[in-house]
Structure 1
């Protein structure tokens, strides 16, 4: 990390509060209503202005009144751009005909559960996990089995024995989030191969949430799970989006990537409602992101890498910090502080830093917090200083 100023450094907390995002402007009572100076570090979005190509695409949508229902040609164009990007970045060039639009990853997840798993079968979820994956299964009348991640060599890993037992007990689907939210792990080839062997042995399925794939740092490599083997391709539904890497979650456009002919045919028969809510401006902006905003992404990755270095150098007594391999989400294990309340509540009140409480990520996350580091570096430095000061004043 160097001291050279970057344009993102000028994005002050005051600037972000004036911008209108949920992350900064609507903390509500839960996040300390009435208190000024809160630093928003909970919602998984970046504080950085979008790429010019993305902004131009949105403006062109407005100028051209492109707010109607989504035409097939624009879907095909987005699918081709998605396939090309994934081929260039990850070595997997899926058939563009098997890349389908959805509003977001949760819509893809819902469709996968409904149309690609046995009715009533349980869902296996490694935890800590992205919060909605813990609540959506019940809305679909599906049992959820939390599978706490294990530790090996100082890092969180998937508990394959527990996953195996879950499938043996009748579960039909594993949710595999890679890069992992909320811990930032990027699973390696051996881990993915081991998962594929367990899943295939039980004739089960995988929902591969790879929304953070473009946000992988040097030293780690994202490997699309569906490329692990022919068996993995046959039992996987992959979901992704440009929304995290290019900071466009409000444009409501994601992608389902099919990797099996039978699945692609089944999606054609069942996926209409899942696709229908995809926003036309979002499709056009996504195409521009994948095709024309790769330089912007590289610049953001370099900036985030500097933020990772700042986090790694921070001295936060009593807190075990996991610096992410991918994503812009760090995991802070605060169990060493011996707090008698959720740590996020303590740090919201005592430090004015709003993080996601680990208990919302599953029982395995209790005592931890998810910290979003995708903010201006001076703001992140202030957040870390506040956390440090709050601990030292305990």
Structure 2
């Protein structure tokens, strides 16, 4: 194996975490297939920021375990608003930010309440798997539009999206930064999408959960910030869950930049907020308020891991093709040249003891892809690639 790349002092603590510490029965990522290395669920093996942990423990110590109270959610939405302006230059009134359990819950609200009955859902693929699940789409027609690679980066197939509007208004799922390709869409790309949607009388659900993790890529641009039209026809959702590793605390934000949407939401939103967690709100407030150092450290560690991953792939899995992700901590690997008999993710599970996400679950035409999560200590990442290479060599 190649020598690990040099580690900065700020990220070395992440690499000291051992497999024994990670391999816990209550970790879904590590316990799904006992005895394997979990590289499928999009969560980091780095724990969370110290101030987030302290906020959670402080709330428990004070028995703050009841329903989410107005003062708590007001502090959290104010912290989120300040974070959006500080990190993205996006000024959002806290009154437009509302609590919800998670981004998929926000998508459910979007489809049920803010789209024309029966209108189709356009899902650019490869996609985050739940966006392709029938239950989430509530019986709507799904139009998959595969992305394209241009100039060594993934982007949207704008012509394909425009064709999907041929039969009338439709709704576009925009995941930005993108999971699983790691693309960060440019202002020009977002404006082009907004023009298509506006001319087609459609709507956009903007999932921006990965926005704090842009690594060394271009800055994140919130879709609703690019134009008055984009703000009017979109609903945005985000959360602290990916960047601070607190998905189990069930606290996300749904953001309304259309006045009519906001007024409509207020007629039923009281029934939505109760699904979110008070501990999650405390964690989100802490994350958004004073965790910039954590984000800098995590982004730095992920840059190193991404570089290590692609160096390992080049040396030990030379048949694998992939675009280097600009953001996130997932990589989208084309393994078609390996000529694996059957689904690749199953092959690596059965023969390498590594659990990956099957490309087929991310959209039609991606059966020869796998998604790998590289937010893990470097020794574990090295073991993942070693196991995969050994399994291929043993065929």
The two structures have a TM-score, normalised by structure 1, of 0.94
Change (3 A) 1:138 1:66: closer
Aligned to 1:2: 6
Change (3 A) 1:73 1:79: same
1:302 equivalent in alignment to 2:303: no
Aligned to 1:243: 241
Change (3 A) 1:302 1:19: farther
Counterpart secondary structure, 2:116 = coil
Give the deviation of 1:389 after TM superposition. 2.6
Aligned to 2:46: 48
Give the distance between the partners of 1:280 and 1:219, measured in 2 at CA. 33
Give the distance between the partners of 2:302 and 2:154, measured in 1 at CA. 22
Change (3 A) 1:272 1:141: farther
Give the deviation of 1:51 after TM superposition. 1.2
Aligned to 1:96: 94
Change (3 A) 1:256 1:42: same
Kept in 2: contact 1:186–1:325 (CA 8 A): yes
Kept in 2: contact 1:331–1:368 (CA 8 A): yes
Kept in 2: contact 1:137–1:143 (CA 8 A): no
Aligned to 2:124: 126
**5+ unaligned residues in a row in structure 2: which ranges?**
none
Aligned to 1:290: 288
Counterpart secondary structure, 1:270 = coil
Give the distance between the partners of 1:50 and 1:288, measured in 2 at CA. 11
Aligned to 1:374: 375
Give the distance between the partners of 1:51 and 1:372, measured in 2 at CA. 20
Aligned to 2:55: 57
Give 4+ residue runs of structure 1 displaced > 6 Å after superposition. Answer: none
Superposition map of 1:253-332 within 5 A: 253-314=251-312, 315=314, 316-332=317-333
Give the distance between the partners of 1:231 and 1:364, measured in 2 at CA. 33
Kept in 2: contact 1:123–1:137 (CA 8 A): no
Aligned to 1:30: none
Give the deviation of 1:84 after TM superposition. 0.7
Aligned to 1:25: 31
1:163 equivalent in alignment to 2:169: no
Give the deviation of 1:139 after TM superposition. 5.4
Farther off after superposition, 249-258 or 334-343: 334-343
Counterpart secondary structure, 1:121 = coil
Kept in 1: contact 2:131–2:137 (CA 8 A): no
Give the distance between the partners of 2:104 and 2:215, measured in 1 at CA. 25
Counterpart secondary structure, 2:220 = coil
Kept in 2: contact 1:334–1:369 (CA 8 A): yes
The two structures have a TM-score, normalised by structure 2, of 0.94
Aligned to 1:116: 114
Give the deviation of 1:258 after TM superposition. 1.4
Kept in 2: contact 1:359–1:366 (CA 8 A): yes
Give the distance between the partners of 1:164 and 1:351, measured in 2 at CA. 42
- Calculate the aligned-residue CA RMSD, in Å: 1.5
Give the deviation of 1:294 after TM superposition. 1.9
Kept in 1: contact 2:121–2:137 (CA 8 A): no
Change (3 A) 1:7 1:175: same
Give the deviation of 1:369 after TM superposition. 0.6
Give the deviation of 1:276 after TM superposition. 2.0
Aligned to 1:334: 335
Give the distance between the partners of 1:206 and 1:142, measured in 2 at CA. 15
Counterpart secondary structure, 1:165 = helix
Give the deviation of 1:25 after TM superposition. 2.0
Counterpart secondary structure, 1:119 = coil
**5+ unaligned residues in a row in structure 1: which ranges?**
28-32
Aligned to 2:354: 353
Give the distance between the partners of 2:206 and 2:357, measured in 1 at CA. 23
Kept in 1: contact 2:217–2:327 (CA 8 A): no
